Amino acid sequence: MGRRKLVVGNWKMNGLRAQLGEVEAIGAAAAAHPSVEVGLCLPATLIASAQAVSGAAFVGAQDCHMKDSGAHTGCLSAAMLAEAGASWTIVGHSERRQDQGESDADVAAKALAAKAAGLKVILCVGESLDVRDAGNAEAVVSAQLLASLPDGAAADWLAIAYEPIWAIGTGRIPTMEAVEAMHRALRTALGGRIGAADAGGMRILYGGSMNGDNAAELMAIEDVDGGLVGGASLTAAKFAPVIAAAG
Ligand code: 13P
């Protein structure tokens, strides 16, 4: 449907200046696949220095605060991240929903704050293993998406990442049929909120143990428009094959 594949690395709490060479090499891999939009969501401390060497790969953040400024010790506003060189940010990653207790409403507010600062947004959703085993993952994740979706959600500034929590960092992934069914369900849910045409243009990424061995099969699924990649994005050697699989 004309959706450009989006492949983004999430370095989580990994990366020092010693890893800037990997950023540069990932930028070169991105340049070799111009049909794919490639980025790295990095620790905030690396954003400015990475931006200077990342070439064809954009640099993003992993979270932002929902407020513009104020007494929030240790937090970073979207404008600060944009000024440092971020052009995107993740919001609502399951690790923050769990570790920092972020609610769906918080996630929607963060997405709006990011947009106001000119950042594009990857909004994460995904089910626990209990929910998957109970057999109602599509309904639960669709509801989570609609509750987290900011007003004015549109494909030109927002992408969705479906990340089953039990697949993150475990080497386990859902069956291809389950991924296909979930992405179709999420697009249908989006369509009910923003209209089928706009939902048809929005990118829905898969995340959770994506790597060079499984990326091509995952990204060949009709409604899978790219990937949000953790462990396999930390080096160019591992991430370049994922980028290539999207191209
Ligand atoms: P892994 O690719 O390490 O499973 O992490 C996925 C993820 O959480 C990306 O945001």
**What percent of the chain has a predicted confidence (pLDDT) above 70?**
100
Give the model confidence (pLDDT) of 125-175 as tens digits: 999 999 999 999 999 999 999 999 999 999 999 999 999 999 999 999 999
Mean pLDDT of 47-74: 98
* Ligand 1 neighbourhood includes 226 CB (under 6 angstroms): no
User: Which atom of ligand 1 is the closest one to the Cα of 207?
Assistant: 6
* Ligand 1 neighbourhood includes 171 CB (under 6 angstroms): no
pLDDT at position 95 is 98
Q: How far is the CA of 228 from the centre of ligand 1 (A)?
A: 7
pLDDT at position 2 is 84
Closest CA to 224 of 201, 245, 203: 203
Residue type, 185: A
| Cβ within 8 Å of residue 130, ≥6 positions away | none
Q: How far is the CA of 167 from the centre of ligand 1 (A)?
A: 8
User: Which atom of ligand 1 is the closest one to the Cα of 229?
Assistant: 2
Average pLDDT for the chain: 98
Q: How far is the CA of 162 from the centre of ligand 1 (A)?
A: 11
Hunting for tokens 């009910």 — which residue is that? 192
Look at residue 31 and tell me whether its pLDDT is greater than 70: yes
Element (H, E) at 219: helix 215-219
pLDDT at position 64 is 98
Domain segments of the chain: what residues? Answer: 6-246
Helix residue ranges per DSSP H, 70-175 = 78-84, 94-99, 104-116, 129-134, 137-148
User: Which atom of ligand 1 is the closest one to the Cα of 167?
Assistant: 4
Annotated binding site for substrate: 10-12, 169, 209, 230-231
Q: How far is the CA of 166 from the centre of ligand 1 (A)?
A: 10
Judge contact between 161 and 123, C-beta under 8 A: yes
Right CATH for 6-246 from 3.20.20.70, 2.40.420.20, 3.30.365.10, 2.60.40.1220: 3.20.20.70
Task: Kindly report the pTM of this predicted structure.
Answer: 0.98
pLDDT at position 99 is 97
Look at residue 1 and tell me whether its pLDDT is greater than 90: no
Mean pLDDT of 194-219: 98
Residue nearest to atom 2 of ligand 1 (CA): 230
Helix 176-194 to helix 137-148 angle (10° resolution) is 40
pLDDT at position 237 is 98
Closest CA to 109 of 163, 64, 69, 161: 64
Give the model confidence (pLDDT) of 208-225 as tens digits: 999 999 999 999 999 999
* Ligand 1 neighbourhood includes 82 CB (under 6 angstroms): no
Mean pLDDT of 11-38: 98
Catalytic residue set: 93, 163
* Ligand 1 neighbourhood includes 210 CB (under 6 angstroms): yes
User: Which atom of ligand 1 is the closest one to the Cα of 12?
Assistant: 10
* Ligand 1 neighbourhood includes 168 CB (under 6 angstroms): yes
